[in-house]
A and B are shown apart, each in its own frame.
Chain A
Amino acid sequence: MKDTNMPGDPIIAVRGLTKTYEGGFQALKGVDLDIRKGEIFALLGPNGAGKTTLINIICGIVTPSEGTVTVGGYDHQKQYREARKLIGLVPQELHTDAFESVWATTNFSRGLFGKAPDPAHIEKVLKDLSLWDKQKARIMMLSGGMKRRVMIAKALSHEPAILFLDEPTAGVDVELRRDMWAMVRKLRESGVTIILTTHYIEEAEQMADRIGVISKGEIILVEEKADLIEKLGKKELRLSLQEPLSAVPPELAEWKLELGQDGHLLTYTFDSQAERTGVPSLMRRLADLNIGFADIETRQSSLEEIFVNLVHDQNAGQNADQTADASLPDGEKDSRP
């Protein structure tokens, strides 16, 4: 995907990146991606889409088959020292040294990334993450959420310009999630570029400046969040009619209804965020016209749906509308599997 308005040089530029694992599995099929300096970029994709592979290649943990990555203008393989110094990585899995103390492991990470010891910075990071009173605790004594904080502390210990958060809030309670997002916002204000992957689409909606969708090793969409939100704010009211209509009656023209299923289904699309949704007046008008309905249903086209459709479309190839329609789960988006 091409970005149309790119202010300045991207802080990360990925070009033609492919990765085929030893077993022959092609995890990435030619990925091009630019990350802008200072943005929060959310990468969405189903399991096995290549999110983690992409992140791991940029961070130097996985070797790419083809393609280039530059980080802050440095080639991530030839100038790996300069490139990697810029990056802090919080991997998906909770990989921690069970026997180390919180302080020791955070301090270790700072040294590992080539920085001179700075107890004041470590203290600040630990305090920001509410880990300060646990600084002497051994990591194995901590809860899962606390371990997650430790992973973030380690990634921030060397003051990275870019922070990768791979599924940062998976299995994390509400409070910690809120803390984490507050922290991410604060980091962004201080100029840190943040790339995150998440399954919680609300998070992408709340946090991200831009959203990218990856599926089967290909980036299939990169869009400003605002553009996606426009699609998101839409809600559908679906009325199953008792008697089929041959056409939408002119009295109902102002609602711009759509008629489907051989005249059995009336669909009204409206903006749920708007003050006047137009739903009550539509209902009154229908009653006036004596149009009876057997069932009524409202549904929201969430980012998740857009996302599922996108991925589904890619799988099914063409014929997007039909397949999308068939794949839509009924009801609200909370029916995610």
Chain B
Amino acid sequence: MNLHSIWAIYRFEMARSVRTLWQSLITPVVSTSLYFVVFGAAIGSRMPPVEGVDYGAFIVPGLIMMTLFTTSIFNASFGIYFPKFTGTIYEVLSAPISFLEIVLAYVGAAATKSVVLGLVILLTASFFVDLDIVHPLWMVAFLVMISAAFSLFGFIIGIWAKGFEQLNMIPMLIVMPLAFLGGAFYSVTMLPAFWQKVALFNPVVYLISGFRWSFYGNGDVPVEISLAAVAIFFGVCLAVTWWIFKTGYRLKS
């Protein structure tokens, strides 16, 4: 394991987000606060509790997840796409570093940022609603696992993307709708029976459900299934990444 190389990339990536601290931290905090003002205070005060949880508190896990999905993808995809775009990727490709180490460094940095951001949003949320987290360790575990999985997913998008538009396409066109429909703001059990079945095809349901379970002790699906969903998603992304480096897809000609 080439620790110096991993550390060099990791630190480079972290330095990049420190430079852009405003965008990477303040913006999500502001937008999350707006969600709480609108959904938590304005609408939430007129909503009955969901599964025994105040609506304002109920949406916290979903909100964190949504931000986690998009920022993980954005950070990781941008992190690898930008060197491709500027050409500085030559240095990483010519360095004595394995594909696993490259992934560890880039995805690790992106996931770190997402975890920090998730915790910051959690902190922000605690100013608006009373939070009582039932399984704090599982909460952190979900935070880390899902950040890592989506950062890996973002890394793949960054390699696949041929332009900046494509970087935004997948998160905005697929991930956001899936997250919205995946029970970020409601419980799947609130849907009509037919749509409940449809919702189960949405992989994001399992992720949000697992995360919400760590907060309130119950989710839309059993937590074991949520964990399995995270593992499968992570495994698929890992396999794709492995294939990318094996073939040099859009990295090496």
Within 8 A of B (CB), among A45-104: 59-63, 80-85, 87, 89, 91, 93, 95-100, 104
Q: How far is the CA of A91 from the CA of B4 in the complex (A)?
A: 23
Q: How far is the CA of A258 from the CA of B7 in the complex (A)?
A: 69
Q: Which residues from chain A contact B11 at a C-beta distance below 8 Å? A: 108, 111
Q: How far is the CA of A337 from the CA of B129 in the complex (A)?
A: 73
Q: How far is the CA of A116 from the CA of B91 in the complex (A)?
A: 17
Q: How far is the CA of A89 from the CA of B95 in the complex (A)?
A: 10
Assess whether A186 is interfacial by the CB under 8 Å rule.
no
Partner among B15, B94, B98 whose Cβ is within 8 Å of the Cβ of A61: B94
Interface range, B side: 20 to 34
Main secondary structure of the interface of B (DSSP, over half): helix
A59 close to B253 (CB less than 8 A): no
Most buried by B among A59, A61, A91, A154: A61
Q: Which residues from chain B contact A81 at a C-beta distance below 8 Å? A: 2, 96-98
A114 close to B90 (CB less than 8 A): no
B253 close to A112 (CB less than 8 A): no
B7 close to A111 (CB less than 8 A): yes
Assess whether A275 is interfacial by the CB under 8 Å rule.
no
Q: How far is the CA of A39 from the CA of B9 in the complex (A)?
A: 33
Knowing A89-B90, A95-B88, A99-B19 are in contact, say whether A112-B248 is a contact too (CB < 8 A): no
Assess whether B5 is interfacial by the CB under 8 Å rule.
yes
Assess whether B93 is interfacial by the CB under 8 Å rule.
yes
Knowing A63-B248, A63-B253 are in contact, say whether A113-B90 is a contact too (CB < 8 A): no
Interface range, A side: 20 to 34
Distance (Å) between the CB of B160 and the closest chain A CB? Answer: 16
- Chain B residue with Cβ nearest A88: B94
Distance (Å) between the CB of A148 and the closest chain B CB? Answer: 14
A63 close to B8 (CB less than 8 A): no
Assess whether A21 is interfacial by the CB under 8 Å rule.
yes
Q: How far is the CA of A82 from the CA of B98 in the complex (A)?
A: 12
B86 close to A112 (CB less than 8 A): no
Q: Which residues from chain A contact B4 at a C-beta distance below 8 Å? A: 111-116
Distance (Å) between the CB of B197 and the closest chain A CB? Answer: 44
A61 close to B90 (CB less than 8 A): yes
Measuring CB to CB, which residues of chain B are less than 8 angstroms from any residue of chain A? 2, 4-5, 7-9, 11-12, 15-16, 19, 86-88, 90-98, 248, 252-253
Can you report 11 residue pairs joining A to B where beta carbons are below 8 Å apart?
A22-B253, A61-B93, A80-B96, A81-B97, A84-B96, A85-B96, A89-B90, A96-B86, A108-B8, A114-B96, A115-B4
